[in-house]
Amino acid sequence: MLNADLHCHSTASDGLLPAAEVVRRAAENGVELLALTDHDDLGGLGEARSVADELGMRFVNGVEISIEWGGLQVHILGFAFAADDEVLNTGLTSIRTGRVDRARRMAAELDRIGIHGCFEGAMRHAENSNLISRSHFARYLVEAGVCKDVRSVFESYIVPGRPGYVDHCWVTLADSIGWILGAGGIAAVAHPGRYKLSRLEMRHLLDEFKSLGGQAIEVVSGSHSADNVTVFARLAREYGFMASRGSDFHGPGESYVDLGKLAPLPQGLTPVWEAF
């Protein structure tokens, strides 16, 4: 099977490596088809495509859009769209505008429990200040000695129910899918196994996703267990979704799986890259 990695991040959002280095690392790891899917930003795509062309590796435009569904933050991947689409770019700009305000509110919550300087510290880790995220806060808290690693920061401070988490009004599922489809792309649900949804709630999400024109789900993900893969392979077959595969690579030492090192898709699924 084609070694496709359709989910990774660069310093254009919350990754540790510039887009060019992400592409080079992917090529060194045997990736044959890559999608750079930065959060709510397309700034790394030009550089990534240029390097992929130099290395003879197939490349497809990608993005990971932050939405709100059922009171939770959910991520929708877009593939193979026109990066210059005006509606898509305007929509992504609207999401980025709210990130700095959320970061200030997160810092204020952490300040209340005695962890100071978080906004400024997180900003030092954000090459693109408009894309400041929880990952940047996590890196600062590790740097400050509050936690031993990024994963521990998320578990202790910046997920729902923890003292550094704040709600944020993201765009809707309909918005994200509409932007992607309007730009000629394909929409996929990112790492569905990460969302704290019951079986019934997951079906409601997938029902709505399909009704709005969504075409794929990420079956093999860096954060999916073997059981997750089995469950979402079955749901992909049931719903008639194409299946995606992506490491969700953010950087060396910080990701579950390195670029291109994922298990293959289970048998009997239609790979989403057949539609590119």
Residue 60 bridge partners (DSSP): 35
Closest CA to 186 of 220, 207, 205, 209: 209
Contacts by residues 200-207 (CB-CB < 8 Å, ≥ 24 positions apart): 201/70, 202/235, 204/70, 205/69, 205/70, 205/74, 205/173, 206/235, 206/239, 206/241
Mean per-residue pLDDT, 138-149: 95
Give the pLDDT score at 129: 82
Give the pLDDT score at 115: 97
Give the pLDDT score at 34: 98
Determine how many CB atoms are found less than 10 A away from the CB of residue 199. 9
**Are 166 and 134 a contacting pair, CB within 8 Å?**
no
Longest dimension (CA), the chain: 52
pLDDT above 90 (res 97): no
Q: Identify the band that residue 127 occupies on the pLDDT scale cut at 50, 70 and 90.
A: confident
pLDDT above 90 (res 255): no
**pLDDT per position as a tens digit, 4-61:** 999 999 999 999 999 999 999 999 999 999 999 999 999 999 999 999 999 999 999 9
Which range of 4-13, 67-76, 125-134 scores highest in mean pLDDT? It is: 4-13
Q: Identify the band that residue 62 occupies on the pLDDT scale cut at 50, 70 and 90.
A: very high
DSSP character at residue 70: T
Per the prediction, the chain carries an average pLDDT of 95
Q: How far apart are CA 207 and CA 24, in angstroms?
A: 38
With vertex at residue 263, the alpha carbon angle to CA 246 and CA 149, rounded to the nearest 5 degrees, is 65
Residue 186 bridge partners (DSSP): 79
Q: How far apart are CA 47 and CA 51, in angstroms?
A: 6
Mean per-residue pLDDT, 126-138: 87
**Are 243 and 271 a contacting pair, CB within 8 Å?**
yes
Lowest mean pLDDT among 55-64, 74-83, 91-100, 190-199: 91-100
Q: How far apart are CA 102 and CA 208, in angstroms?
A: 27
Q: Identify the band that residue 131 occupies on the pLDDT scale cut at 50, 70 and 90.
A: confident
**pLDDT per position as a tens digit, 169-227:** 789 999 999 999 999 999 999 999 999 999 999 999 999 999 999 999 999 999 999 99
Give the pLDDT score at 101: 87
**Are 65 and 186 a contacting pair, CB within 8 Å?**
no
What is this structure's pTM? 0.86
pLDDT above 90 (res 78): yes
Determine how many CB atoms are found less than 10 A away from the CB of residue 58. 15
Q: Which residue has the tokens 């700034």?
A: 43
Determine how many CB atoms are found less than 10 A away from the CB of residue 96. 18
Buried b vs exposed e over 103-112: b needs ≥16 C-beta within 10 Å? bebbbebbee
Letter for the amino acid at 58? Answer: R
Q: Identify the band that residue 99 occupies on the pLDDT scale cut at 50, 70 and 90.
A: confident
